[in-house]
Every structure is written in C-alpha cells, then in structure tokens.
Amino acid sequence: MRLSRGQMQAFEQQGFLVLPGLFTPREVEVLRAALAPLFAEESPANVREKLSGEVRTAMGLHLRSPAYAKLVRHPRLLAPAFQLLGDGLYAQQVKVNVKAAFEGEAWQWHYDFATHHHEDGVPEPLALNLHVFLDEVNEFNGPLYFVPGSQRHGPAPCELDSVSTSYPLWVVERATVAHLVAAHGIVSATGAAGTALIFGDCLVHASPPNLSPWNRRIFSLIANPIANRQTRFARPDYKHHRDFTPLTVLADDCLVAAAAA
Amino acid sequence: MRLSRGQMQAFEQQGFLVLPGLFTPREVEVLRAALAPLFAEESPANVREKLSGEVRTAMGLHLRSPAYAKLVRHPRLLAPAFQLLGDGLYAQQVKVNVKAAFEGEAWQWHYDFATHHHEDGVPEPLALNLHVFLDEVNEFNGPLYFVPGSQRHGPAPCELDSVSTSYPLWVVERATVAHLVAAHGIVSATGAAGTALIFGDCLVHASPPNLSPWNRRIFSLIANPIANRQTRFARPDYKHHRDFTPLTVLADDCLVAAAAA
C-alpha cells in the first residue's frame, strides 16, 4: 500500500482521498462482528443519541476490543499516514461513528482541528483522520459532505455548539461555510464497505441524518504526530488518548489471522 | 407538451417522472420574484419551521399571487395531468415548500394520500403532485427521496406524527419502509431550476434537511379529479381548497406575458 504521486497531489488539493476496497469483505466482517458487545456496554465512551439512546459514537475501541487494537496498527491503514506525515504518530482518537438506520442525526459543518486545538491544546493542524467504511455509505444513509479544498484556507472561524446534537462540537460559522462552498462546492464521500477515506485536520465537513433503513457505521482513527501532541488534558482519555507510543504496524493479514486463531 | 408512451410507462412503473427544463429561467425568475412578499405575510397559510421561524411551506398561493394563479393553469404543467387523469381536475393544494439554506428540516417517510384520506376524506389515491423546482435541487439541499415502485403496493400502513417536524403528517411505519426499500431501493429527484416532477398519491417519499448554503424552493400543485373530491371539511381551505371548478389552461406564455404587462 503506497499512495501514488497523483493521490498525494489530490490529497494536497482536495484535502481528502477515497481508497475503495482497501479492506476485504472478510476483514470488514471481523470488524463488524466485534461491535454488538461493545455497543451493549454501559460506558461513557459510548456516546448515545439524544432522542433514541442508540450509540452514536463508540470511542477508545483499540483499548476495548482485540480486533480494533489490530486495526489501529494495520499496515494498509497506517502506510498512507506514514507517507503523508512520517512515522512518529500516536493514536489520538479511535472510534466507530454510527448512523443507525432511521435514527442517526446530523453533524454540523466543522473541522477536526477546531476541537483538538480548543479542547486539547494540539498546536498545529497536522492530524489525519483515517476512516474505514464498515457498511456501504451512500447518498441516503448519512455520508460525509466535504468542502474540497477548504483546508487550503487554514483553520476557519468557528464557535462551540452544544445544542444541535448529542456531542458538543466546534462548528464553522455559516457565513464562512457559504463563502467556502461558493468557491469549492460540496462533494460526498461514498463507497462500498471496506472503502477507506483519509482527510486532514482543517477540511470542513458535515453529514446529514440517516433517513434510510440502512445502518451506516464508519471506523475512525485520528493519527497525530507525537511532536504535535496535546498540551491540555481536560478531556477523558477516550476522547484524546494519552499514550504517545509510536504506532507500529502488524502483519497484513492481522485481522483475519486473529479471527482464525 | 405531451408525455411519450415511454414516459407514461415509466410513471406507471416508478410512480414518478422528472421533466427537465419544463420552465425557462425567465419563467422561474417571475415565480421566484413573487415569493419574498408572500413569505413576509403574517398568515396561517405560511407554515414556519419550529426552530428558526423560517417559512417551511407557503400555502394557497394561487389565491394570494397573480403569478401562482397563472402557474396552476399553465398548459405545460396541466397537460401531463390531463393525460394521466383526464381533464376534470381541481386544485386541491397549492404551495411552495421551502428548505431554507442551513435551516430546512427533514420530512419523514410518507405518501400524500394518507393525509388526504385521513384528514379530508378523499376516497381514492388518484391525485397527482406536480412540482416545479424554483432553485436547483441537488444531493445536498434536501431533495425528495422516492421509493420507486412503492405506489404499486397500494396505500402503506401509516401513523400520525405530530412530533418530528413543524407539520403534522401521516407517516409510513419504519418496518414498511424497510420492506419497500429492500424491494425497490431509494432514488433522489434532482435537477436544475425549471425542472418539473410529477408523482402519484401512494408513492412513498421523504426528504433530508438542507445542510447546504443553497435555498431549495419547490412549487407544488396537487391536482385531484373532481369526482374524487374531499368528503370532510375539517382542515382550512389553504390545506385543501373547496373550489371544485375544473382547472383550465391559459396561454403557453402566460407567466412571462404577465410579467411584461
């Protein structure tokens, strides 16, 4: 797994990359099978929807599940991150974002660095968000909407929103969103289960609720250079991990070898 | 304006038809220009969003605006309805559904006949919903989602929802939506301003909120055979008009001739 020069340039320009079929159906099945017991846990690391009580985000998963402990060290997921950032990275946040069929709510326009910077004192917008689709993500079940190229404007003005949804979020002001969208438009990131998606810390994104009867579960590892680690420690470990050991890779078949063992 | 045999068959199978470019940019401009004063009126026929107070639906427009009085008698809009239903039709409901940029909320899964039948005693699911896009409708600004072919199953089981949104609505039960979507999938109806859209009274549809900075305004005329008219009169006239005079057509240039006059 190595990004081509074209992919590196596209990431620079657009702020994200979609990598279809990065994980096999069998690997996805291993990751899916691990979720039900994790979601059933009564844990503050399981953030639930305001209305339905369904799990919206299950966090700290590499510390709660052998399969996800392997995924955060998977060579196909980490190689692009090492290529873009170098290899001194720690696992800043590890989660599965769920949009349950009929229930999953919207995320307002935001970019990840706003929260990492304001809440955790991360100095620079260097972190990468590495996603793996655990379900097909399509137009109807709550895909991520990106403003491609918005990261090139640097960190956008934002404000803390603790009203709209079940998770307090630093959101981008509407006038700024309108300005960026007028320049760059909006694209949605869709694909089959097993697709990976990489995007940077300043890319402005949102996602609509899931009105469809199809679940939409996406794994997310935020990998941040150790040299750029958090400087404030107000949030719990599951929201920003304090283990700054560099991520290293396991074997390419680690997910399925584990399942067979 | 006459539907082809292929279009008639597609309507029969899918339950809807998209007619791109049915109205010109100049005609759309006339219709748009009429909206601001209508939306500013303090009227129960202007239904507003729960949260923002923005107009969500402005009803009874053919009685409130010369431009919309012409649109409900426009030959390009009525010809397909006459072809599908015969020419003894009345204007049952006339409105502009708005999804304001950043504000417009979702509509849950429903079909129009459920409300016309339960609230107004319309005997049979014959009415047609004739839409004209007043803005571009795209994936991001709250398009209609259809379950194509769902109308062939007849009226689906439903229940009254007066909680989710700003307008009480007879919605389709989730198990039924899941069953229909498993058989038929979901499609979204998108197109440039001036596009028309025709769909029937049993077609199951929903629409997501508008997270984008783009307004999404759609004109809607529900045309119902006079022989199938309402038998209960509990709702106000602007929700179901009581004038059963047959709709007749004006000249093809009526919208722009009016603007010039």
Per residue in A4-50, pLDDT tens?
999 999 999 999 999 999 999 999 999 999 999 999 999 999 998 77
CA atoms within 13 A on the CB side of A209: 22
Average pLDDT over residues B212-234: 97
pLDDT of residue B258: 58
pLDDT of residue A50: 77
pLDDT in tens, B5-55: 999 999 999 999 999 999 999 999 999 999 999 999 999 999 987 777 889
pLDDT of residue A259: 57
CA atoms within 13 A on the CB side of A190: 11
Instruction: Please tell me the distance from the alpha carbon of residue B27 to that of residue A42, in angstroms, as a whole number.
Output: 58
pLDDT greater than 70 at residue B61: yes
Alpha-carbon distance A128 to nearest alpha carbon in chain B (angstroms): 24
pLDDT of residue A157: 86
* Residues of chain B neighbouring A106 (CB-CB closer than 8 A): 209, 211
pLDDT greater than 70 at residue B261: no
The pLDDT-based confidence of B159 (bands split at 50, 70, 90) is confident
Alpha-carbon distance A178 to nearest alpha carbon in chain B (angstroms): 5
CA torsion angle B158 B160 B164 B168 (round to 10): 120
pLDDT of residue A166: 61
Note whether A109 contacts B208, CB cutoff 8 Å.
no
**SS3 string of chain B?**
CCCCHHHHHHHHHHCEEEECCCCCHHHHHHHHHCHHHHHHCCCCCEEECCCCCCEEEEECHHHCCHHHHHHCCCHHHHHHHHHHHCCCEEEEEEEEEEECCCCCCCEEEECHHHHHHHHHCCCCCCCEEEEEECCCECCCCCCEEECCCHHHHCCCCEEEECCCCCCCEEEECHHHHHHHHHHHCCEEECECCCCEEEEECCCCEEECCCCCCCCEEEEEEEEEEHHHCCCCCCCCCCCCCCCCCCCCCCCCCHHHHHHHC
Alpha-carbon distance B102 to nearest alpha carbon in chain A (angstroms): 8
Chain A residues in contact with chain B using a Cβ-Cβ cutoff of 8 Å: 101-102, 106, 108-109, 139-140, 145, 174, 177-178, 181-182, 186, 188, 206, 208-209, 211-214
Please tell me the total number of residues recorded for chain B in this structure: 261
Instruction: Please tell me the distance from the alpha carbon of residue A119 to that of residue A122, in angstroms, as a whole number.
Output: 8
Give the DSSP H or E segment for A152: none
- The secondary structure of A7-30 as a DSSP string is HHHHHHHHSEEEETTSS-HHHHHH
Instruction: Please tell me the distance from the alpha carbon of residue A44 to that of residue B44, in angstroms, as a whole number.
Output: 45
State the amino acid at position B222 in one-letter form.
I
Instruction: Please tell me the distance from the alpha carbon of residue A99 to that of residue A91, in angstroms, as a whole number.
Output: 23
A129 in helix, strand or coil? strand
pLDDT greater than 60 at residue B259: no
A222 in helix, strand or coil? strand
Residue with tokens 């017991």: A37
pLDDT of residue B67: 97
State the amino acid at position A146 in one-letter form.
F
pLDDT in tens, A78-132: 999 999 999 999 999 999 999 999 988 899 999 999 999 999 999 999 999 999 9
pLDDT greater than 90 at residue A51: no
Q: Smallest Cβ distance to B102: which of A102, A140, A174?
A: A174
What is the separation, in whole angstroms, between the first and last Cα of chain A? 25
pLDDT greater than 80 at residue A164: no
Alpha-carbon distance A87 to nearest alpha carbon in chain B (angstroms): 37
* Residues of chain B neighbouring A145 (CB-CB closer than 8 A): 140, 211
- The secondary structure of A68-108 as a DSSP string is HHHHTT-HHHHHHHHHHH-S-EEEEEEEEEEE-TTTPPPEE
pLDDT of residue B167: 65
Q: Smallest Cβ distance to B186: which of A145, A206, A212?
A: A212
Instruction: Please tell me the distance from the alpha carbon of residue A185 to that of residue B68, in angstroms, as a whole number.
Output: 32
Asked whether the beta carbons of B213 and B145 are under 8 A apart, the reply is: no
Interior/surface letters B112-127, b for 16+ CB within 10 angstroms, e for the rest:
bbbbbbebbebeebbb
Note whether A109 contacts B211, CB cutoff 8 Å.
yes
Least confident segment among A169-173, A188-192, A257-261, B253-257: A257-261
CA torsion angle A19 A21 A22 A27 (round to 10): 150
Instruction: Please tell me the distance from the alpha carbon of residue B198 to that of residue A85, in angstroms, as a whole number.
Output: 52
Nearest CA in chain A to B140: A186
- The interface predicted TM-score of the complex, written ipTM, equals 0.90
Q: Smallest Cβ distance to B211: which of A102, A145, A212?
A: A145
Note whether A208 contacts B211, CB cutoff 8 Å.
yes
Give the DSSP H or E segment for A130: strand A128-133
A180 in helix, strand or coil? helix
The pLDDT-based confidence of B260 (bands split at 50, 70, 90) is low
Instruction: Please tell me the distance from the alpha carbon of residue B38 to that of residue B59, in angstroms, as a whole number.
Output: 10
Note whether A140 contacts B109, CB cutoff 8 Å.
no
